[in-house]
Every structure is written in C-alpha cells, then in structure tokens.
Amino acid sequence: MNGGVDYLLSEEVIHLTRGPSGLGFNIVGGTDQQYIPNDSGIYVSRIKENGAAALDGRLQEGDKILAVNDQELKNMLHKKVVELFRTAGDNVSLKVQHRLLPQNGPSSHRGDGDPGGIPLAMILVPGLAVAAAATLLWAFLRYRQRA
C-alpha cells in the first residue's frame, strides 16, 4: 500500500462553472515551488467561501489537482498552471486526487463526495513549523552558550 503511507488515494473528476470570483480556490505547488518535498504537484491551498468550488462542495483543501480540462499538470511551473486556469474557459473540468485516511473496520461508501479525514497539509504544515521552531531554539541556545 503506497510504501507504508497511512492514507488512501481516491481520484475524482469535478466540473466547475466559473463564477464572479473565478473558480473560488487558490493553488500552491509546481516544479519551481514545491509544496511537499520531492513532489512538484499542484495542491488546493484554500477554498474561498461562496466561490464555485465551495458551492460544489467536492474540492477540498489539500487535494492534488492532476489535470485541468484533460491537460495533465505533471512537471509544470506554478505560473504555467495559473495561466492554464486563467484561460480554461467558464466550464472547467478538474481531475483531482483526494487523500483519505483509512477507515477502522469494514470499508464503507461515504457518499456525497465527502472524502472525510484530514488533508495531509493540515498534518504536515504544523508539524514542520514545530520542527523548524525547535531547530531555531536549539541553534540560538547553542550560540548563546558559545558567546
């Protein structure tokens, strides 16, 4: 199972109609600004309240966007993906990958496109922040001892 990773992957195609504020979500990632180390994928960083994505309800923060209107996003620069979204037209098809935490007991269908679980970013980002703060504190204390 994915080399011991403790989540499952699920793919879905989501069709959104561009609204007054666009598609209603922000993205991070790309070959030039990796969001997850050793992964140049494009991820949903924020769903805008009352935007097209929020009203649809299936796209979630932390989802990986694999393709826009059947164009694969693999190994693309962030700005190229942004331009692709800008020129995608009013009706946009997104192929996305949800990360699902495994269920305890027998598997069940969740329905309504609800992936459940916690987006990977919500686990990684706070953990990395704590690790970075601890490293800085350690370095500061070591420096003070030498001075």
Q: Select from 114, 85, 66 the least CA-distant residue to 23.
A: 85
Q: What is the mean pLDDT of the chain?
A: 82
**Residue 105 pLDDT more than 90?**
no
Domain ranges across the chain: 9-99
Kindly state the average pLDDT of the residues 126-138. 72
Give the DSSP H or E segment for 122. helix 120-146
pLDDT digits (tens, 9 = 90+) for 60-95: 999 999 999 999 999 999 999 999 999 999 999 999
CATH classification (class only), 9-99: mainly beta
- Rounded to two decimals, the pTM is 0.64
Q: What is the pLDDT of residue 127?
A: 63
Kindly state the average pLDDT of the residues 24-45. 94
Q: What is the pLDDT of residue 124?
A: 63
Of the ranges 36-45, 64-73, 93-102, 103-112, which one carries the lowest mean pLDDT score? 103-112
Residue 131 to residue 76: CA distance in whole angstroms: 29
Tokens coding 106:
């027998």
* Rounded-to-10 torsion of CA 63, 66, 71, 74: 130
**Residue 57 pLDDT more than 90?**
yes
Q: What is the pLDDT of residue 93?
A: 97
